Structure 1
């Protein structure tokens, strides 16, 4: 009874709001078109008539639910000045769906009387809109249930089991989110890119699962690839069905392979647009070394979990060559060491990508901030699950503390910066430093970070049911691969991971330590490095150097042909440390963005051929059979409701994530969080990890810590990787630079001019 009263009061009080007006206008347009097409006896005319009526019914059902959520939505914000949480995100998604549907229906209204009006395409578009609103209605029903579980602004009802999470996800029609209206909720400059990503995923899946099964000439393979591309371009419903099927049935190896394309596709040539003086690989031979802190000496252990001792790889990026920097021998550095240094950790779901795939924005950051960036290439799951990457980050960070002079920095301000999975590792690194009494970074910047590695039904995590970058199945399998390795005992609670403890040593132990070669001495074989132009992938990744080299030759040709046919002059560098973009650099960036946008629009045919040639060769797996079975029904219309596959349900319900703060920094104690440095968190309203960021920021703020939370609109998870090809993503990257600059120089935050 109370729920009915709330909905009625809310509906009455919101008659004059812009949102309610937009809904009423949409319903009026639907009613007008329904009356018009009721007289059309053709098949498409009647389908349009029924779709408009269905859309009106869906709007009548969803609006009271939207109102009931809006009443309490402010309870879950971090504060009044930073509105943002998963509930707000869904309200904005609903508003975007109304805008999207209104635009389509206005086109129908303006053209319906024309003799040349073709009803086939509008019919499918309006039917998709009705499915979209109906699916959102289902989501809002689940959101109401979630809200009933939560109190005191908590977005994580941890007392709810995995079964509740699965029940929340059941019955949501995912097809409508990945078909004709894919990316409707994102900003305009990213919609075409996300559509391209979705198309690429569908095309790549066929190449991935049929590689080696279909023999034939290169011409035949290229022809099949083109046919596949055309098929998914012309049939969005087929593409949606394929993507949902992949999300639910493809294993983690598919995720790794698809995300790895960012390193070997034609986009690989884009980072070179931003020229830097230094971009080189560093390999640390696994040997223990001594770290001197004040009057203490600590022996840093070698990472050993799962893989045993192996080199830890880094990548140094600097806009200018600085004195003392590795690789400066026989050169004449023009710059003294910088006071600042950025320790970066890349994202990729813990299972994929590297510093190379994030180089596009790292080069830009190095230029704008004018400080060296050292990025850590940690080992990836499932071969190297938790805590291996955590151990390697600790080892690399301690080496950086000891040897920052080799990286062109005085070490006066060391800032940790990372995104997604890498951001999680940086928070756990900071927590480990606090516990081991090692100097933590002077500041931490994290972007769209998962802070609770547990599948609790938070509202923002429901966004993964419609996310083209992070679908539900991908997220589940990647986190499971990292947190719950098969055949390994669960890690205990608390702070007891497999990470070897750091040990303090006395003067009597120094003689023994001298037996180890210094990792920075000239005679040491502990540190090796080489120019990235000399095939760094063979050194860093070991992912088939010959095949990668072949792919890069092809990719370079495509980049030159489609993007860089007209060479851009590198913008003149300023002799000062001022990183403000000049007119020349801005013009160059705009020109490059235009060329890349054109590239995205025209590369599809060439890209499909590349995907076919570069797909990993692997034998057919049971998961593949599920994906391939989708072909048998490709001619059918999508079901109105797509339930999660039984294989995915069984897989995600049969594992338990350990409650380890080094895995989930949100679980850290108040005592440890009180020792955290200044922390700046940036996320996006449409990110499945939004609530993770909000809740972690709330904990820090409640403890009186210096924390900043930025929530950007219209951008997807992982937007930094698109910063060179999207104006909105580039603006978001510039805000990241500003927040990092504030950590490097706290006084800069009071200068509004630095935001430009």
Structure 2
């Protein structure tokens, strides 16, 4: 995982510097050479399958798919070049390359590398007797559909970007928003189901991809409970087709995210509530872990900057007065916090962490976020207070802001009861919680409250609750956890309340939870348990949930995978060294998965694709290293960022001075030479045999932390002789893979989405982006209005307490020092970049902006099952320490 950092402060002073330990070598390859290689592979495969005698239906489909790839790859390459040209002006600064344009380029790079890896396997194995034609056909078609969507959608993005003023990622905040909503409408009309089938989670790290495939099956299965005649047992039985047929799973997920009501969205976001018992087994034990209510009656008085007092009113919006709920966690017993007879009581801590959880304002709680809060409480060695604010749609804005503000005032006035001296306090929030933290701080400034927090740590936070387009928000159409349909309903519930959906058009609205009788996600799972107690998937066991995520997509454990270390090591260790050891063990245990290609890093280099230093596809690197089109452009970069092994002039033989690709006719090798250049594998008689969706051939996942490993792996691996038993095992596995393919074929259905997009694709390949975008805009205006489009057209208040982007420069200047953490693949990335730039422009204190590669929105919730997410949580902890002024020595004694 790449960690980018930028450090700045007020007048450039007082910034705290942080440098991550060197990750060792990484790989860089010329982008134009990679696109040229994809074109050649597509051409070779198309010709081969066109000439194949006695062609089956799958063979003809492969020929057609490769024909599409060959036709549209040049158009995608041109669009990527345009986005690379304009991306730098939208970065936070030169040291922090990152914005929605760069993220979309990274997505295109990942798709191209996936297609190269799959096409390479086709080239090597297509003439063998047991070639898995149906498997490779579906893999190629899946990523071809992704390429199709990107080509059509990015045309719109380029056209819209040219109309925006200056270097703004969003339209002018004071403008008429209705004229910008056409972009979202046109993209929403495209078929995005391709992202929820075989490529599900392809843009993230391998460990996160496994989590999302599991969540995708659960989500599609749960959605069946909506329909009449689908009880828990029937839904469980029908769920098998979502495991065996990724295409049907994709169609189901897309249908649900577009048509579901807010009650389903709440159940979807509450998925993490199923693992509330997991922290008890895998996370540090807390001396204090109590849910409390603030039973204070009436306003709370706090000091003002003018020497007077300010009264913080008791929350009463929408549902009347009732106690505010908080959760207090402490790794040690402390005076006044713990009961009088508690053993080993420590003195009051000078530090306190004030936390607000995410969940789209409609779901989750502090308890479901204990997986990382417990670890933070131990490593910070200070109390953690997390607010369980009331949720929408029953308690929309401003109720959550009132409750968090009231809880903050209570904590400030009753520091000793929290086990705190009252010295240093840091406020941290993730997603919706980060928005609440910022809203409360703006309110503190409005009220002129004297005691403000000492620092704010904001993780993947939305700062603009408007249906406005930005490059990164296009990622929501491919994000399984943050799809546009779910986001729109959360915004609607928070800003309009429980009557929000009733105000819509009845003809477009979906039956409510009470109307169709479907249950919450937890109730549904409990009913499944009662009806299917003997089932091997035991949702009541916390460990079984974690092990389920670690399954490969067909539901079985990999044969050769070593036993995975339990995530408990990361939390139960006595210090951070234990966490590092556990993380290293899990990274070493990663097995075959084509999702390794998601480890493409976002860099400022406009000409090259940078592969992660700690995760890559070994066989793909071998292929790029030996193929004539790419061998001179593949560079091994050392920890200092300089080429190694004399590769300073890499790429000169295949590229001219201007960086333009040489004509294929001049340097194109024959298909035979391509086959000869393919790296020899361990056991060349073996075939790709794993019936795993998203896996192309026999790509190997490796973890490398040193220059030696990554440089050495680019050499051709030695050939080993295979025993008879090994050959028999491979043959049996291949036969099982064919059987799996046959079962999948029974569930296959035809989709007309590709045909409906055919005219648009023809235009995209033949017309300029502006003309193609205008024609798509005209077609979008003639289409029917969906319920999502109705939601987009509704007004969202332009209130700074809802969307901090509207805050005045004077208010932003008075905010506490801020540490921002976001993800390159997060649809809310542009929110963070734009807001941080605005704060800096008005003289505010932006201490750092960290952008993380290959991690999803909400990565803190996946720390137990993903080593990359755990690394992101460690960075978050470091920023919290900086905000509190904690050094390693002081955290041990506080």
Greater displacement, 362-371 / 224-233: 224-233
What residue is the counterpart of 1:192 in the other structure? 210
Q: Where do residues 573-612 of structure 1 align in structure 2 (5 Å cutoff)?
A: 580-583=575-578, 585-587=579-581
TM-superposition CA deviations, 1:640-661 (whole Å, max 9, x none): 2589983324431441011110
The answer to whether structure 1 residue 143 and structure 2 residue 157 are counterparts is yes
| 2:461 is the counterpart of 1:322 | no
> 210, 215, 219: which is aligned to 1:201?
219
Number of residue pairs aligned between Structure 1 and Structure 2: 637
Q: Per the alignment, do residues 136 and 689 of structure 1 end up closer, same or farther by CA in structure 2, a change over 3 Å counting?
A: same
Alignment partner of 1:193: what SS? Answer: helix
Flag the 1:560–1:687 CA change in 2: closer, same or farther, 3 A.
closer
Residues 23-70 of structure 1, C-alpha deviation per residue, up to 9 Å, x if partnerless? 111111111111111112322222111111110111122111111111
Q: Which has the higher helix share?
A: 1
Deviations 1:117-169 (A, max 9, x none): 12111111111122111111112101111211223210110334253343342
Structure 2 partner of 1:608: none
Deviation for aligned residue 1:675: 0.3
Deviation at 1:191, TM superposition (A): 1.0
* Aligned: 1:351 with 2:362: yes
Change (3 A) 1:747 1:668: farther
2:381 match: 370
Q: Deviations over 1:509-540 (max 9, x none)?
A: xxxxxxxxxxxxxxxxxxxxxxxxxxxxxxxx
The alpha-carbon deviation at position 110 of structure 1 amounts to 1.6
Match of 1:166 in 2: 184
2:845 equivalent to 1:706 = yes
Report the Cα offset of residue 111 of structure 1: 1.2
Is residue 310 of structure 2 the alignment partner of residue 298 of structure 1? yes
1:595 positional shift: 11
Q: Cα gap change, 1:635/1:29 in structure 2, threshold over 3 Å: closer, same or farther?
A: closer
Structure-1 separation of matches of 2:575 and 2:276: 29
For the Cα contact (< 8 Å) 2:267–2:521, is it kept in 1? no
Q: 1:266 to 1:338 in 2, by over 3 A?
A: closer
Aligned pairs for 1:514-533 within 5 A: none
- Tell me the residue number matched to 2:857: 717
- Quote how far apart the aligned CAs of 1:99 are: 1.1
Which range moved further: 543-552 or 226-235? 543-552
Decide whether the 8 Å contact of 2:42 with 2:69 is kept in 1: yes
Structure 1 residues 372 and 285: CA distance shift in structure 2, 3 A: same
**Contact 2:90/2:167 (8 A) holds in 1:** yes
Q: Distance in 1 between matches of 2:343 and 2:856?
A: 42
Counterpart position of 1:686: 825
Equivalents in 1 of 2:527, 2:588: separation in Å? 28
* Alignment RMSD (CA, Å): 3.4
Structure 2 gap ranges (5+) = 1-27, 501-519, 548-562, 593-746, 758-779
Aligned mates of 2:31, 2:117 — CA distance in 1: 15
Closer, same or farther: CA 660–145 of 1 in aligned 2, 3 Å: same
- The DSSP-based 3-state class of the residue aligned with 1:379 is coil
User: Where does 1:108-119 land on structure 2 (aligned, <5 Å)?
Assistant: 108-119=122-133
Does 2:254 align with 1:244? yes
Map 1:305-704 onto structure 2 (within 5 A).
305-325=317-337, 327-438=338-449, 439-485=451-497, 557-559=540-542, 580-583=575-578, 585-587=579-581, 635-637=749-751, 639-640=753-754, 646-704=785-843
1:63 aligns with 2:202: no
SS of structure 1 residue aligned to 2:457: strand
What displacement does 1:300 show? Answer: 2.5
Q: How does 1:10-25 map to 2 (within 5 A)?
A: 18-25=30-37
Q: CA deviation at 1:17?
A: 6.8
Q: Say which is worse superposed, 255-264 or 562-571, in terms of deviation.
A: 562-571
* Partner Cα distance (1:230, 1:747) in 2: 51
Q: 2:514 corresponds to which residue?
A: none
Measured at CA, do residues 562 and 142 of structure 1 come closer, stay the same or move farther in structure 2, by a change above 3 Å?
A: closer
Task: Name the counterpart of 1:46.
Answer: 60
Tell me if the contact between 1:271 and 1:363 (Cα under 8 Å) persists in the aligned partners.
Answer: no
1:374-412 superposed Cα distances (whole Å, 9 cap, x missing partner): 000111111111111011111111011111211111121
Residues 1:595 and 1:272: Cα distance change in structure 2 (over 3 Å):
farther
Cα separation, 2, equivalents of 1:370 and 1:237: 48
CA drift at 1:671 = 0.5
| Counterpart pick for 2:245 among 228, 235, 239 | 235
Deviation at residue 331 of structure 1 after TM alignment: 0.9
Query: CA offset at residue 372 of structure 1?
Result: 1.1
Query: Do the aligned residues in 1 keep the contact of 2:217 with 2:243 (CA within 8 Å)?
Result: yes
Kept in 2, the 8 Å contact 1:300–1:398? The answer is yes
Deviates more, 1:147-156 or 1:354-363: 147-156
Question: 1:436 deviation in Å?
Answer: 0.6
Distance verdict in 2 for CA 1:139–1:286, change over 3 Å: farther
Q: 1:339 touches 1:410 (CA, 8 Å); kept in 2?
A: yes
Query: For structure 1, which segment, 227-236 or 289-298, has the greater mean C-alpha deviation from structure 2 after superposition?
Result: 289-298
Equivalent position SS for 1:688: coil
Moved more, 36-45 or 230-239: 36-45
Measure the CA separation in 1 of the matches of 2:872 and 2:436: 22
For residues 571 and 70 of structure 1, the distance between their equivalents in structure 2, rounded to whole angstroms, comes to 39
Q: Alignment partner for residue 140 of structure 2, among 88, 111, 126? A: 126
**CA distance, structure 2, for counterparts of residue 561 and residue 684 of structure 1:** 29
Contact 2:58 2:133 survives alignment (8 Å): yes
Q: Distance in 1 between matches of 2:590 and 2:860?
A: 16
Greater relative contact order structure (CA < 8 Å, 6+ sep) = 2
Question: What residue in structure 1 maps to residue 659 of structure 2?
Answer: none
Aligned to 1:727: 867
Looking at structure 1, the residues matched to 522 and 71 of structure 2 have their Cα atoms a distance apart, in angstroms, of 57
Q: Is the 8 A contact 1:180 1:237 kept in 2?
A: yes
Unaligned runs of 5+ in 1: 1-15, 216-220, 489-542, 599-632
Q: What's the CA shift string for 1:650-684, capped at 9, x where partnerless?
A: 43144101111011111100011110110011000
- From 853, 870, 881, give the equivalent of 1:741: 881
140-149 or 561-570, which deviates more: 561-570
Taking structure 1 as the reference length, the TM-score comes to: 0.78
Cα distance, 1:442 vs. partner? 0.9
1:659 and 1:270 map into 2 onto residues whose CA distance is 42
The corresponding residue for 1:518 is none
